[in-house]
Amino acid sequence: MPLATPKFPEGSPPAALAAGLRQRLMSSWKSPAAVFAVLACCFGTLFLAITPPLQVPDEPLHFYQAYSVAYGNFLDKSATQIPLNARTVQKSFEHLAGHPERKTSSAQIREAFQVPLDPEKRGPDSTFGNPFLTYAFGALGIRLGAALELPPVALMYLGRFFTFLFWLSATYLAIRLSPVLKWTLCALALTPMSVFEGASLSADSFTNAWCFLFIAYVFHLSYGPRNTPLRSGDYALLLILSLPVTFSKFVYGVLVLLFWLIPGSRFPSKGVRWLSFFGLSGIHLALFAWWMSLKSKLGLPPPFPDVSASRQLAHLKTDLWNYWDVVWRSLCEQGEGYWKAFVGILGWLDTVLPDYVYYLYFGIFILLWAADKTTPRSIRWTDRIWALSALILGLASVLTSQYLLWTSVGKGTIDGVQGRYFIPLSPLPFLAFFPPRILRPILDKFSAYVLAALPALMALGLALALRGILLRYY
């Protein structure tokens, strides 16, 4: 005989508790930060666990550099010593990269756990290139696993987990902190590519999360109480949050231009405002120059024999106008690929999702442009100009850096550009092109319906991406 569901008298403590929990659960789905936390926890954990070892772009190199950082080796590539058994694990899975027809199995992954670390047997490795700060949290997991004498593949998963915890925490804080574009930040952070990288050892996990956090803090200073003067702690925190943006990847240093979103009324005078900006910019330029000088001493070889940054720069100077033709041709020929890689081309860039997934996210972003009511009804035109300027310079910096560092000298298109490189810049167009006030009464009529459906749409997109990973590897 089935048990009857207990019914409590209306107004009784159990009934009030149940009603409160139900109301809290329903209201949490109206919070962008809560939606992000739930979906990122669920799908990030699944991506972390289901993606086979070292199957994120360049994850072996990220693992080796994080291992080096775990033992305090930040800059000296000659001192890098990697356990030989870590390479054994890499070789057992490297046949998968670039070959979607090749599969693995849970049995093969379990076999990898049988390979001991054997830290006494080491070999040299030259894996430096990314700043050591981007591996700090993955290094914590790796050092913990090494102290517990876990096998290399377990160190890799622990490194992923600690990196994921930072990405999750920093991005959640960014959404909570920002007074504007909350749903937009949530959706941009929950694209398959963003979550996939967030749950990996990739340096991009740190970079994406930190850039979102910096942008959110600038929004906090810009759209919070406008007549409250900035305190000394605000200046210090702005500097502290901005430095890792340039240090993680120098091309994102253009985000410092968002400083001009902060209203002039929050500064004691125009002179203090200009002095603060030039001081901030000067520190960033000094940091960039210091890191570039260190990298030049490392003597890192170019990715291909016919790539030379110095010769490419000389070629660029001789015919600057032709470079804009190169940029335009690259955008026309590869623009669709940039979009797909921004949303998610997973694995070793060999797991393309069905076309309808990319259409789904295009629709999500269009709806968000119209329906994100967490943004003020009016955005100052100067804010739009600064956001657009930072966006254009950021895109130009990404393209030019790849032209210099990854493209054969004199080639007519730019190689090496990945759509995921645009994730840190992605909130900017939503601010620059936020709907004008005249459209808000029309758009507000259906925004509630859009925001109610948004969590389900994002969960659907991530579920389809997870299905793509399962079909690709198993």
352 DSSP β-pair partners: 345
Listed by start position, the domains of the chain span 29-473
pLDDT tens readout for residues 221-242: 998 776 789 999 999 999 999 9
Could you give the C-alpha distances from 370 to 6, 198, 270, in angstroms and in order?
45, 27, 35
- CB neighbourhood size of 247 (10 A): 21
Q: Please identify every stretch of the chain with a pLDDT value under 70, giving residue numbers as ranges.
A: 1-29, 76-80, 125-129, 226, 298-300, 374-377, 438-443
Among positive and negative, which fits the CA dihedral 107, 113, 114, 120? positive
The secondary structure of 355-402 as a DSSP string is HHHHHHHHHHHHHHHHH-TTS-S---HHHHHHHHHHHHHHHHHHHHHH
What pLDDT score was predicted for residue 9? 59
CA distance 259 to 222: 9
Question: What does the pLDDT read at residue 5?
Answer: 47
Amino acid making up residue 350: D
Contact 273, 267 (CB under 8 A): yes
- Nearest CA-CA partner of 204 in 58, 346, 84, 369: 58
Q: What is the pTM of this model?
A: 0.90
Closest by Cα among 73, 60, 62, 133 to 298: 73
Residue 122 main-chain phi, psi, to 5 deg: -130, 160
Classify residue 158 as exposed, middle or buried by CB count within 10 Å of its CB (0-12, 13-18, 19+): buried
pLDDT for residue 50: 96
What is d(CA 197, CA 238) in angstroms, rounded to the nearest whole number?
26
Dihedral angle sign, alpha carbons of residues 203, 252, 240, 233: negative
User: Taking a C-beta distance cutoff of 8 angstroms, is the pair 374, 181 a contact?
Assistant: yes
Identity of the amino acid at 77: K
CA separation for the pair 313, 259 (Å, rounded): 30
Matching residue, tokens 């091309």: 251
Query: What CA–CA distance (Å, rounded) separates 66 from 127?
Result: 10
Please tell me the distance from the alpha carbon of residue 356 to that of residue 461, in angstroms, as a whole number.
Answer: 9
* pLDDT for res 252: 95
CA distance 97 to 347: 8
φ, ψ of residue 422 in degrees (nearest 5): -90, -5
Predicted pLDDT at 21? 46
Q: What does the pLDDT look like over 58-67, one tens digit per residue? A: 999 899 999 9
